[in-house]
A = this chain, B = another copy of it.
Amino acid sequence: MSTIQDRLTALRSEMKRQNIDAWYISGTDPHSSEYLPARWQTRAFISGFTGSYGLVVVTNTDAALCTDSRYFIQAEQQVKGTGITMNKLRVHGSVSPESWLLEKLPAGSNVGIDADSVSVSVFENLQKKLAEKNINLVAAPDLLDIIWSDRPAQSPNKIFELELKFAGLSRKEKQEQVVAALNEMGADYHVVSMLDELAWLLNLRGSDIDYNPVFTGFGLIGKDENYLFTDSQKLPTGLVQKLQTEGVVVKPYSAFYSFLSEVKNKTFYFDKSTTNYSTYKALKSNNKILNGTSVIAKLKAIKNSVEIDGFRNAMVRDGVAMVELHAWLKENVSKNKISEFDVGQQLKSFRAEKAHFVGESFPPIVGYKEHGAIVHLSVGKDDALPIEPEGILLFDSGAQYFDGTTDITRTVALGKVTDLQKRDYTLVLKGMIALAKAKFPAGTKGCHIDILARKPLWEAGLNYGHGTGHGVGHFLNVHEGPMSIRQDYNETTIAPGMVTSNEPAFYREGEYGIRTENLMLCVELEESEFGKFLGFETLTLCPIDTTLIQLNLLDENEKEWLNSYHKKVSEKLMPLLPHKLHGFLAELTKEI
């Protein structure tokens, strides 16, 4: 296997041959995916960094991996000794990759990029910034194709249908909603670029990406005709015909750009921030482009009643697995040698016994002691810390069920804990409760309510470096837009039917990490003469460790919320829980 240095050397000599002075690896695939099919794990190939976010820029003499605070510690460790430097993004004084390139390159240089795997927005922004110093951005053929001899092919995995009893709406009904939006905007076609949007729209699922039940393809939804660009051998017998009957013509994945380049005088709607530059290039000369948030992303984010019921049901099974894990942990931590890795494995096996289980929704994050402070670390069997009956353990995990996707973090005491740990834990909990109890008018955005989760920490001079809430798909990606709950401005308002996480946290580097995460459904609470007021229903059903709470820091309303939550958890989980664990759950959910 080649080393990172070998790969950088090969890339640089290819750059030289092609008269390119820097190569920009956007870190995504042609569909702006967060988790990547093997073929598109270009960031990991070139840098060795395995986190889920980051991009790499390589000049003839320098190379930088740019990522955000979730991965600072992990990235620092993984690029050590490769000659790649780490470039922190989204922090005060951070240097953008554009600025980094402007600093490193002389005027007149050429920066190369693979136009398939970069969004129009990133491409155009980069192009504009580089032009300030007369540096060209070149949409080049993918140099990694040349130097990556054993690059994986496109996945041949089979696509399958999601039954209507789980999806709630037929693909025809969903297409009609999209067409109604197209008509309103005066557009002819909606380009469907993101894989989770394509899967949702067509009630199809796949397994081309670990943890995300999606398949590789593009869609084109029009008033009179719909196309699915995917390799037909991925479709089970009869499905091509069935789709055709329902108005969806299947064409080869590789035919997408050439198909587009033959369309003329039409109006195409798509989101420049998620659609790749090659798509735009194929259309822009002969057609009108309307840029905006994907209509499908917006429709998909508002869960229908069948999806919502599915989430509620999946949460019961998922909560039972979590309680089983907790009991296993209590039982084994003193008498057996167990590691962080074992916790993830064990949790997966408890979940796998449950109805409708498909797989994990992301690699479990199990952080004991100082590992808990490495926000998104995924430990392997070999680098996992052994777990002892002391200190605190953070575990963040989730599952894909046919009826819903889960994502949950709990932080539990394994033995003696310090007063400071309890103080920190309680402040995080206060924030989580404040957001769960929030009441706000329709029209409120995530950036307006994010403070609720942070306020108790801020008052103590503490903070956490990531967002508070992300959208969650229905048996789809565990991270989905278009809404978010974080400080960054996001124009999408939080609306009834949306499912987001609520995950305030606190990390003491080198010591421990604390995070408590539930999923919440946005619901309407009240309509007054001052408008509609919204709030959240917490979907996740799992005890929150009360032994870590510093009780005098909670006010009566917070205690009441927690007691009422635990009452609901107990009522919902008890019927499905093995009888021998009833006492254990009763103990975990008893009133404080």
Tell me the residues in window 519-545 of chain A with beta carbons closer than 8 Å to chain B beta carbons.
Answer: 526, 528, 530-531, 533
Q: Mark A456-496, 1 if CB is under 8 A from B, else 0.
A: 00110111000000000000000000000001010000000
Are the C-beta atoms of A531 and B463 separated by less than 8 Å? yes
- Secondary structure call for the A interface: mixed
A447 interface residue (CB < 8 Å to B): yes
A489 CA to B439 CA, complexed, in Å: 20
Residue of B nearest to A527 (CB): B461
Q: Are A489 and B447 in contact (CB under 8 A)?
A: yes
Interface residues of A in 495-523 (CB under 8 A from B): none
What residue of chain B has the Cβ atom nearest to residue A449's Cβ? B451
Report Cα–Cα, A528/B458, bound state, in Å: 11
What CA separation (Å) do A92 and B441 show in the bound complex? 11
In the bound complex, CA of A458 to CA of B535 (Å): 11
A440–B461 touching, CB < 8 Å: no
In angstroms, Cα B92 to Cα A530, docked, is 12
A443 at the interface (CB under 8 A from B): yes
For residue A116, CB closer than 8 A to chain B, the reply is no
CB within 8 A of A452: which of B441, B443, B451, B461?
Answer: B451
Q: How far is the CA of A441 from the CA of B450 in the complex (A)?
A: 13
> Of B459, B463, B533, which one neighbours A458 at CB under 8 angstroms?
B533
Q: How far is the CA of A445 from the CA of B450 in the complex (A)?
A: 12
A448 CB-CB contact with B under 8 Å: yes
Q: Which residue of B lies closest to A92 (CB)?
A: B443
Cα–Cα distance between A376 and B402 once the two chains are bound (Å): 56
Separation of A531 and B444 alpha carbons in the complex (Å): 28
Taking a contact as CB atoms under 8 Å apart, the answer to whether A458 and B441 are in contact is: yes
Q: Is the CB of A463 within 8 A of B487?
A: no
Contact A461 B530 (CB under 8 A): yes
Q: In chain B, what residue has the closest Cβ to A442?
A: B92
Q: Are B447 and A459 interface neighbours, CB within 8 A? A: no
* Residues in chain B near residue A459, CB distance under 8 A: 439
Q: Which of B440, B444, B448, B461 contacts A528 (CB 8 A)?
A: B461
Instruction: Contacts A92-B531, A463-B441, A531-B463 given; indicate if A448 touches B487 (C-beta within 8 A).
Output: yes
A495 to chain B, nearest CB (A): 13
Q: Which residue of B lies closest to A489 (CB)?
A: B489
Are A462 and B528 in contact, with the CB atoms below 8 A? yes
- If the complex has contacts A451-B449, A451-B452, are A462 and B530 also in contact, measured as CB distance less than 8 A? yes
Kindly state the separation between the CA atoms of A489 and B445 in the bound complex, as whole angstroms. 10
Docked pose: A440 CA to B487 CA in angstroms? 12
Instruction: Please report the C-alpha to C-alpha distance between residue A441 and residue B92 in the assembled complex, in whole angstroms.
Output: 11
Q: Which residue of B lies closest to A464 (CB)?
A: B530
Q: A92-B443, A443-B92, A489-B489 known; A533 and B451 CB under 8 Å?
A: no
- For A444, list chain B residues within 8 Å (CB): 487
Chain B neighbourhood of A448, CB < 8 A: 447-448, 450-451, 487
Chain B positions within 8 Å of A462 at CB level? 528, 530
Residues of A292-342 contacting chain B, CB below 8 A: none
CB distance from A139 to the nearest CB of B (A): 27
Are the CB atoms of A439 and B452 closer together than 8 Å? no
| Residues of chain B within 8 A of A92, CB atoms compared | 442-443, 531
Which of A92, A441, A443, A461 has the largest number of chain B CB atoms within 10 A? A461
Output the residue of A458, A487, A489 with the most chain B CB within 10 A. A458
Chain B residues near A461 (CB, 8 Å)?
Answer: 439, 526, 528, 530, 533
CA distance A448 to B530 in the complex (A): 22
Q: How far is the CB of A135 from chain B (nearest CB, A)?
A: 16
Q: CB-CB < 8 A to A528: which residues of B?
A: 461-462
Query: What is the CA–CA distance of A450 and B444 in the complex, to the nearest angstrom?
Result: 11
**Within the assembled complex, what's the spacing in Å between the Cα atoms of A573 and B92?**
42
Interface 1/0s, chain A 410-428, versus B by CB < 8 A?
A: 0000000000000000000
Q: Mark A26-60, 1 if CB is under 8 A from B, else 0.
A: 00000000000000000000000000000000000
- In the assembled complex, the CB of A486 is this many whole angstroms from the nearest CB of chain B, namely 10
Q: Which residue of B lies closest to A530 (CB)?
A: B463
**Residue on B nearest A506 in the bound complex, by CB:** B530
Cross-chain contact B487 with A458 (CB below 8 angstroms): no
A439: which B residues are within 8 A, CB to CB? 458-459, 461
Whether A458 lies near B440 (C-beta < 8 A) is: yes
A-B contact pairs, 17 of them (CB 8 A): A92-B442, A440-B451, A440-B458, A441-B458, A444-B487, A445-B487, A447-B447, A447-B448, A448-B448, A448-B487, A449-B451, A451-B451, A451-B452, A461-B526, A461-B528, A461-B530, A461-B533
Q: A447-B489, A461-B526 are in contact. List 20 more A-B contacts (CB 8 A).
A: A92-B442, A92-B443, A92-B531, A439-B458, A439-B459, A439-B461, A440-B458, A441-B458, A441-B463, A444-B487, A447-B447, A448-B448, A448-B450, A448-B451, A451-B451, A451-B452, A461-B528, A461-B530, A462-B528, A489-B489
